[in-house]
Structure 1
Amino acid sequence: MNVHPPLQLTSHLVGMIYDCVLEPVKWEAFVSELLRELDFSYGLLSISAFPEGNAIFGVSVGIEGPWLERLPGYWADIMEIWGGDARIQQYPLEEPILQSQIADGRRLKANPYYSGWFAPQGYIDAVAIGLERNPHMVSSLALGRHASAGPVGESELGLLRLLAPHLRRAISIAQQLELQSIAASAYASVVERLPVGVLLVDELMTIIHANPTAESLLSQPSPFRSAGNRLAVRAGGAEALEQAIAKAASDEAALGRSGGAGIPVRHADGAAYVVHVLPLRQRQSRGALCLPASAALFLVPAGSQSPLPSEPVTQLYGLSPAETRIFELIVNGETPKAIAKQLGLSANTVKTHVRNIFAKTGTRRQADFARMAASLRVLL
């Protein structure tokens, strides 16, 4: 991997990710840069409709024409390598999964995709990251490593873990925009026509602009209102949203897993929304919106997308998607060894996640997880 100060490299790549939201034609440049920085040979970023499987958006970098044309014919074999649909559904979102950790050599050599496509090109390993799975779409990023670059190391996986939440947020916002490619200059008019509310705010939560849907939400009973032209959130989730906006204004790379792919906001009257925060302060194409905003907030009715897994625990304790999934499995009685095998993670990775869960939740034993989960079910 090329030598860069970690924070500088992370900030650079995060900035490219959010530029892609406003200008989707830049996704190819981002994937190319990611491959160069991490010494991968090919990258596939895909968004597909669910359950039909039709491609909504896709970027392929580093795969030559004939090989790319042959790739769809191996779809069933690729699924088999990764454990089949049921197992793939178990992999935590945002967690890089190594092909070499979930499939042994004997099974790989017997697989037509591996023997007919992967190995002949000199690839030795691959990383897959699930970015979104909901009733409407699935999205993932896959990266291939050539033998000349050597094994995939923890440094590469660590950077991918930092980038994954930003990728997931960008994909979630792109889903609301329902855009494949559009000139940046057209975004202002697109935002005005969106069926979801969009607010442009500065770092003090001053409302700079609201599209018609957002104006309607502000004028009627909802979790959101305008108080002296500042956004006020009359519901749970207000503090998390304020923190996310502050990070968007000062250091977008620090957004990380703040709010995951969205911040749940619930009002006492039962109204529920998920707020996606798109940082704008450092966007090269911010001029497309013609406004000095720090962030764009997409106010999405919660019923229009799948609920976040174990949402109370995730939000109360700030667990990552991988930590949340492992928490769920431990509460259901699975051992760390079984979890590692089921999720295709190394035993050390699972132990690290468990230690993080202990630290974040203030617990000391796995049995404490079950009692905590039971109490949350009663309270919530």
Structure 2
Amino acid sequence: MARTRLPMTHSDSSLLLDLYGSVEHEARWQVVLDTLRDRMGLESVVAQVLSSARSCLQQVWTARDSVSLRHAAIHDSWANSGANPRFHRQRALRHPDTGIGSDFQSLDHSENEHRAMREGLARCGLGPAFWVDFGLSPNSHFSLVFHRKPGDDRDVNAGEVEFLQQLQPHLSQAVSLWLKTSENAARVRTLEQAISATDLAMTSCDRTLRMAWSNPVAETLLAYNRHLGVRNGMLTAHNAQANAALKALVADAATGHADVLALGSPGDDPLHVRAVSGANQAGIGAAARDEVLLLIAAPERRVQIVPSALARLFRLTGAEAQLAAALAAGDTVSEYAARRGITTGTARIQLKQLFGKTGTGRQADLVRLILHSLSAQGNGTLPPAPVPPRPN
């Protein structure tokens, strides 16, 4: 007849709440480990992610209960190091079906290793260990390690095994969620770094033009631009007509229709805005309001080309890279020559050398090549506004 399992107690419910809470708040692992240590009357409870890529297990991540944290240095001097024979095993478990094992049940250790383990743990103020673990990848696994108090040489008992069997599915689920959350957070950080490094201004807003976020280039552009700015958290165009046009653009984009809008007139440092529908999927994770991504360009501002990057990308000399950068920014050959204090003939010789090294035959092709290269991207800075000509 199968054994009837008792319902979880109030303290166990609190334990599970803290366990699942650790998915978003890693510091709550210590609360979980403290609870397990006190409930089971142990000296130490430690959670570890271990790599088995080498012959000796390597700690990738560790969380400790508060007592173990105070004694971390002495524990790490032997118990959590390659000196401990347990770190030389490749997850050889007594109960592979449950993932529960112990120092007593590690059949892959010799008697001398068991003796060295007992003596080493005693020097660290720890008794024998038992654990529950499960694989995360072919070369890594999660392990929850329990150490008894010094002098308590009992093996893991049937009641502890049953408790760990009940805990293991929750532990596995919480760790799986934690890893997925960490991976997603890492992807978000990578995307944020890429968005911050680009020279294209990006911001997002809802149908009412309330802003959600923006990258640094957009923050600078919106703070110092006569056509589009931010007021009380709302994107605001320079006049009522432009504001209505911007709202219409965003409303269309929210329904999946991408379009563009010009704010300002030619010669007045205008802005070009492209609205793209955001990820407004249905379901519990959907945004409370439609979110639209706005890509903003200031087309009359000189492109900032890094000559040193051009030189490395196209194997140019310093002089050739300077000329290429100037042409891409809008200078003529004569203007560049005058600014550099060289003859126009010398500049044209450099231009001919540029054509040869870049495989182009016309100045327009050369400029297009440069503007599509990474020398014109990734600075994360906004070109300054053009200086209006002085009246005569």
**When the two structures are superposed, what TM-score results if normalisation uses the length of structure 1?**
0.41
> Where is the helix percentage greater, Structure 1 or Structure 2?
1
Largest Rg, 1 or 2: 2
